[in-house]
Structure 1
Amino acid sequence: MEEVYDVIVLGTGLTECILAGLFSAQGRKVLHLDKNGFYGSFTASLNLSNLYNSFCPGVEPPAHLGENRDWNIDLIPKFTMANGKLVKFILHTESVANNLEWKSLDGSFVMQTSSGGIFSKSRPKIYKVPGNDSEALKSDLMGLFEKKRCKKLFKFIQNYDPENVETHKGLQLRTLPFKDLIANFGLEQNTIDFIGHAVALYTSDEFLEIPSHEVMLKIKLYMDSAGLYGDSPFLYPVYGIGGIAEGFSRLSAIYGGTYMLNKEIDEIIIGEEGKVVGVRSGDEVARAPIVLCEPTYVLNIGKVRPTGRVVRAICILNHPIPNTGDAASCQIIIPQRQTGRHNDIYISCVSYAHFVCAEGYYIAICSTQVETDSPEGELQIAFDLLGQVLETFIRVYDTYEPVDDGRADNIFVSKSYDATSHFESACEDVLDLYHRITGEPLDLEQPLRPFIQQ
């Protein structure tokens, strides 16, 4: 450890591992430390013993769940858009792509609460999310005339080309709020809900005020991802998302990166000029002009501010989630308006088909941004959709963001992982950090050209 490096990285979460891998491949000398005894940090995939030790110290896993080798349970499950940024990161680095195997998600669903009638009560129901104009016509989400209106909108967005004004239909889409665009199509509120939350993947109704151009690009991403590698726009790695972080860690190691686990950081050392010069662990000091870290490493030095809390519940089932067509894997989004909340609720479900649990079992993880003093109660509507649950592990996570861009002292801090069930926001953070640290944007359209020592 007691050497001089170009970059010191603290924490082995996915964000940090991607950047460590890129920096090492580009010829920088990287030291990567983690206070935990396993790779992945918050994005780790744990076996049964590690899961129980993390949530219920001293409690042994039930014998009926089988062997440790059959389980790889994500602490923070997230799916990957087939044409999204994480896939582009992986394709950018050939060695990582060659060591990962993926499966397409069986289905993406959205919950809506049906209106009650004279002889019936309103009740929540989940529907498959249409990803293009033809699926919109077949969807049970909408009535006949609404399907035609939705198809018309999807067709308009599918044909949209930011550089071709003929596809803009005379609209100023870079400034026109999305709510004004959809007003032209006469869509119902429930339709607007699923488009904004389950297709464009916004976490709140902020998308209504955002310029149409930005929202349409997110919808196009969903459309472009659907059918690219299967029927769903989402992918999930076999053996869990911890394998992605490990893949980028291997990339760093191939090009000389040094890794150390179980390494507590006692001090981030600031030099006389106000810039970082290294880190101290016990009596050992490693020096570098740049430190990249997770928020938990700088809680006490004024580098981050709290952004709220996220509650996540890991639920082990012995059956698929009801009303999903026995899907071995799926995502369910519960839009805020359907529950009277300010934030969406997410359910991610994977199974033995992905080698993350023993045969016959399913892992459903429910998450949302905490809004009350009873976080577990905020997930009740999600629990109601799961059916019988065998085991539940619940934890509330504090979330943080950096207070500055890091350029003043060269301490660059990543954001905490949000409640969403996909990696798009985390990948935006990677791109932003790379730009801030190197001063140049990362071009994901070009393959990585590794540095070769002469």
Structure 2
Amino acid sequence: MDDLLRYPAIDPTNFDLIVIGTGLPESVIAAAASSAGKTVLHLDPNPFYGSHFSSLSLTDLADLLQSHSSPSPSPSPAYNVHDDLVVLDLVSRPLYSSVEISNFSPEVLEQHSRKFNVDVAGPRVFFCADKSIDLVLKSGASQYLEFKSIDASFVGDGKGAFLSVPDTRSAIFKDTSLGLTEKNRLMRFFKRVQGHLAGEEDARIPEEDLESPFVDFLEKMGLPPRIKSSILYAIAMVNYDQEGVCKDVLETKDGIDRLALYNASVGRFQNALGAMIYPIYGQGELPQAFCRRAAVKGCLYVLRMSVAALLAEKDSGCYKGVRLASGQDITSNKLVMDPSFTVLLPPSSSPSHSVQESLRLLTLGDDRGKVARGICVTGSSLKPDISNLLLVYPPRSLFPEQVMAIRVLQIGSSLAVCPSGLFVLYISALCSDIEEGKKLLHLAMDALFRLPVSGNPENDATVQNETAEGGSVAQSENAEAVKPTILWSALYIQDLTTGQVGSINSAPMPDGNLNYSDTLEATVKLFHEIYPNEEFFPETSSAENSDDDNGLSLET
């Protein structure tokens, strides 16, 4: 508190919008509102940008997960009235659970902990042609970001084999695991889809097929199980098992749209080998880029500043402002909060009925299930000649009852997320409860990694493999067959929340998807709810906001 009291008072004391937390949705809204000419105050209790979308050192990641995995001490609910305003305490709620952090090589990692930029919300990539890239270009955030290509995509069979995803004509021809008949059927399928998208009459897919499950259409096209699995889970990125009783059936028309996005992503940028790219220094660069755009447009930033309470009108319960931990009151017309925060309700006998009803809406849960996440640091690559890759375990590939796809993203040191010679791997899967999530993570890890045998990973054969980064240490004779050894891991279950819209708005948590499409769609919707008459990042002729492909920096 003494440090907070030494903060200079914020001036002015009234803003059009106050944003609490610098997660991606909050940062995009701050930048969009600033671009629309609104006065914005952006606060964050953390000393870093990004909140649940940040990229952190191993130590800071562990601290974040632990701090958000248990309820913070809450003051007793009060009903304080001052100058016709109700003072409502703001408290944090736990959004992570079952946090397991293991360090199998403290002597190796301790000296390098600060050299990691580890994503809290991984695995995550950008498809080169999706709306998130268009937004990065349109907003001007691209000038603060650099990307590199994800070099390859694979489907795991649960028996140790990684099968290449046949996502392009050249990939189909080069895939020696496919027979001639399979290649011909797959080529006919892609040609049919391309013809349908181009409006060719003889290739048009009937309406009844477009409204049927995508898995049925793939079966109708004569595609074998392995090819169907690759298309569904590694190209269309379906989360749930599409065979039998399915929680979320993908219709053919939506599956075709996802194929079109994937196909348009391949080759959009000259230096990208495939459909996906990843930001240098980690996903946490994305919210920082939007914060920089907001600052250029006049947004005021204050880190390490907590908000102690919200201010509401005594009679109506309508939001009026915030009380900072420093004691200063700041007013605004609108508020957007990090999903970690919620309002502590006062005793039911204190405020009027209308105030109680207004406050009750602020504390309603909007949980939409959970996502299991795992982060592992290894001393060698899953594929000795590839640094940055995506691996998908389709449903039922690891055990018969597996109904969710499991995704694994490996990133090497060429993307500045870890020291040279090491690799960071992100694992995720949707889950209905903690036990299911932990089981999915552990089974994926068992299939991919092994623990150090001697307790000294520097002497382990898998750590001594020559890495795809160009390491000079000796390579084992059977590098393909040896699993990478885990040096460090963090496993946790994250709650999925979709955010809330009202006089006080709450941003969504990171979802369970591989890309940002749904998160950004929800963010755009939230912005229009707040400012229905404002354009979301108005077009500009300024060269700084170039919206062509050359506005994106993509390294080889």
Instruction: Give the structure-1-normalised TM-score.
Output: 0.85
Amino acid across the alignment from 2:305: K
Q: 1:397 and 2:485 equivalent?
A: no
Q: Against the structure 1 CA distance between its residues 111 and 331, is the aligned structure 2 distance closer, same or farther, given a 3 Å change threshold?
A: same
How far apart, in 2, do the equivalents of 1:311 and 1:183 lie?
31
Q: Deviations over 1:312-333 (max 9, x none)?
A: 2221111111xx3532111111
1:221 equivalent in structure 2: 261
**Residue pairs, 1:337-348, within 5 angstroms:** 337-338=396-397, 339=399, 340-348=401-409
Q: Against the structure 1 CA distance between its residues 360 and 191, is the aligned structure 2 distance closer, same or farther, given a 3 Å change threshold?
A: same
Q: Deviations over 1:215-255 (max 9, x none)?
A: 21111111111222321211111111111111111111111
How far apart, in 2, do the equivalents of 1:253 and 1:382 lie?
42
2:146 equivalent in structure 1: 101
Moved more, 282-291 or 77-86: 282-291
Contact 1:295 1:304 in 2 (8 A): no
2:466 equivalent in structure 1: none
Contact 1:92 1:444 in 2 (8 A): yes
Q: Against the structure 1 CA distance between its residues 437 and 145, is the aligned structure 2 distance closer, same or farther, given a 3 Å change threshold?
A: farther
Q: 1:128 and 2:164 equivalent?
A: yes
1:28 equivalent in structure 2: 38
Q: Deviations over 1:345-368 (max 9, x none)?
A: 111111111111111111112122
Q: Deviations over 1:277-296 (max 9, x none)?
A: 22222432222222122321
1:118 equivalent in structure 2: none
Q: Deviations over 1:332-384 (max 9, x none)?
A: 11122324323221111111111111111111121222345434332123212
1:45 equivalent in structure 2: 55
Q: 1:245 and 2:292 equivalent?
A: no
The one of 414, 425, 429 equivalent to 2:522 is 429
Q: Against the structure 1 CA distance between its residues 184 and 17, is the aligned structure 2 distance closer, same or farther, given a 3 Å change threshold?
A: same
Structure 1 residue 80 displacement after superposition = 0.8
Q: Against the structure 1 CA distance between its residues 377 and 174, is the aligned structure 2 distance closer, same or farther, given a 3 Å change threshold?
A: closer
1:264 equivalent in structure 2: 306
How far apart, in 2, do the equivalents of 1:249 and 1:325 lie?
38
SS in 1 for 2:321: strand
Q: Against the structure 1 CA distance between its residues 395 and 183, is the aligned structure 2 distance closer, same or farther, given a 3 Å change threshold?
A: closer
**Residue pairs, 1:374-453, within 5 angstroms:** 374=435, 375-383=437-445, 384-386=447-449, 387=483, 388-402=485-499, 406=501, 409-439=502-532, 446=539
Contact 2:23 2:53 in 1 (8 A): yes
How far apart, in 2, do the equivalents of 1:275 and 1:448 lie?
39
How far apart, in 1, do the equivalents of 2:39 and 2:369 lie?
35
Structure 1 residue 55 displacement after superposition = 5.8
**Residue pairs, 1:40-439, within 5 angstroms:** 40-54=50-64, 62-65=106-109, 66-67=111-112, 70-77=115-122, 78-94=124-140, 96-113=141-158, 123-139=159-175, 142-161=178-197, 167-171=203-207, 175-204=211-240, 205=242, 209-229=249-269, 230-271=272-313, 272-282=315-325, 283-298=327-342, 301-321=362-382, 324-338=383-397, 339=399, 340-374=401-435, 375-383=437-445, 384-386=447-449, 387=483, 388-402=485-499, 406=501, 409-439=502-532
How far apart, in 1, do the equivalents of 2:508 and 2:287 lie?
16
Q: Against the structure 1 CA distance between its residues 318 and 172, is the aligned structure 2 distance closer, same or farther, given a 3 Å change threshold?
A: same
- In structure 1, the gaps of 5 or more residues are 114-122
Q: Against the structure 1 CA distance between its residues 126 and 167, is the aligned structure 2 distance closer, same or farther, given a 3 Å change threshold?
A: same
The one of 9, 15, 26 equivalent to 1:5 is 15
How far apart, in 2, do the equivalents of 1:41 and 1:432 lie?
21
Q: Against the structure 1 CA distance between its residues 128 and 316, is the aligned structure 2 distance closer, same or farther, given a 3 Å change threshold?
A: same
Contact 1:9 1:30 in 2 (8 A): yes
Answer with 1 or 2: which has the greater Rg: 2
How far apart, in 1, do the equivalents of 2:340 and 2:17 lie?
18
How far apart, in 1, do the equivalents of 2:415 and 2:519 lie?
23
Amino acid across the alignment from 2:151: D
Q: Deviations over 1:190-211 (max 9, x none)?
A: 3222212110112113698444
Contact 1:434 1:442 in 2 (8 A): no
Structure 1 residue 84 displacement after superposition = 1.4
How far apart, in 2, do the equivalents of 1:245 and 1:133 lie?
36
Q: What is the aligned length?
A: 434
Contact 1:105 1:234 in 2 (8 A): yes
Contact 2:412 2:422 in 1 (8 A): yes
Amino acid across the alignment from 2:41: L
Q: Against the structure 1 CA distance between its residues 196 and 434, is the aligned structure 2 distance closer, same or farther, given a 3 Å change threshold?
A: farther
Contact 2:32 2:537 in 1 (8 A): no
Instruction: Give the structure-2-normalised TM-score.
Output: 0.71
SS in 2 for 1:228: coil
Contact 2:236 2:258 in 1 (8 A): yes
Contact 2:369 2:433 in 1 (8 A): no
Q: Deviations over 1:248-275 (max 9, x none)?
A: 1111111111112222233333334454
SS in 2 for 1:304: coil
- Give me the identity figure in percent: 24
How far apart, in 1, do the equivalents of 2:533 and 2:412 lie?
40
Structure 1 residue 48 displacement after superposition = 4.0
Q: Against the structure 1 CA distance between its residues 249 and 178, is the aligned structure 2 distance closer, same or farther, given a 3 Å change threshold?
A: same
Structure 1 residue 132 displacement after superposition = 2.6
Contact 2:370 2:433 in 1 (8 A): no
SS in 1 for 2:261: helix
Amino acid across the alignment from 1:196: L
How far apart, in 1, do the equivalents of 2:388 and 2:529 lie?
37
Q: Against the structure 1 CA distance between its residues 341 and 294, is the aligned structure 2 distance closer, same or farther, given a 3 Å change threshold?
A: farther
Moved more, 152-161 or 239-248: 152-161
Amino acid across the alignment from 1:379: L
